[in-house]
Chains A and B, each alone.
Chain A
């Protein structure tokens, strides 16, 4: 089954404690992305990756890191989480065909609370 998986689904942590949210896709997609979703602000792109070893900032990259060492995985790292990073996070992937972006497949989401 084609899917994007994220772990963990729920996480409560404290300010300053480093954490990683994993994302994996089994569709051999080139494009992967992380979003955060906040009430009234919608989905905002944090980082995206066009392919292995290629990453770029989205609209809200401050406080986040990513890496793309393998095509299927795109972890999101919060090295020193703060309460304003409390949010619902989604990973997504998409194939690229002749420069055209196809639909994004989204993971189930990770609800993060930073105390």
Chain B
């Protein structure tokens, strides 16, 4: 069964303190891995798609990387506005469903 596990569940950082969020996955043939940001009371907002091991993508202070078993979302010098829940999702070649992790709640303290 396809599964996604995110860690840690919650993370508190001082402004400027870099860190990484982890997304471990088990799928029967990865078609794509997706990162989303979700603010309280809102729908998830797309950040990145990664398709194959070794792939990396960057956007402002965020960088996503992918291996055959996990993905990392690196946050460099975070700001308070980066506070949100970050969700990881996968899709496999065996179906058309998306499987989401439970997310990492990030708080960046000024």
Which chain A residues numbered 23 to 51 have a C-beta less than 8 Å away from chain B?
A: 31, 33, 35, 40-45, 48, 50
Q: Least Cβ distance of B7 to chain A in Å?
A: 13
Considering the complex, give the chain A residue whose CB is closest to the CB of B88. A42
Residues on B with beta carbons closer than 8 Å to the beta carbon of A35: 100
A74 in the interface (beta carbon within 8 A) = no
**Distance between Cα atoms of A52 and B43 in the complex (Å):** 24
Whether A42 pairs with B49 at a CB distance below 8 angstroms is no
Whether B49 pairs with A33 at a CB distance below 8 angstroms is no
Q: Least Cβ distance of A40 to chain B in Å?
A: 7
Interface residues of B, count at CB 8 A: 22
Q: Least Cβ distance of A54 to chain B in Å?
A: 10
Interface segment out of the listed A12-20, A79-87, A98-106: A98-106
Whether A48 pairs with B46 at a CB distance below 8 angstroms is no
Q: Least Cβ distance of B97 to chain A in Å?
A: 5
Interface string of A3-16 (1 = CB under 8 A from B): 01000000000000
Residues of B within 8 A of A (CB): 31-32, 34, 41-46, 49, 51, 87, 89, 91, 96-103
Residues of A within 8 A of B (CB): 4, 31, 33, 35, 40-45, 48, 50, 56, 58-59, 90, 92, 100-109
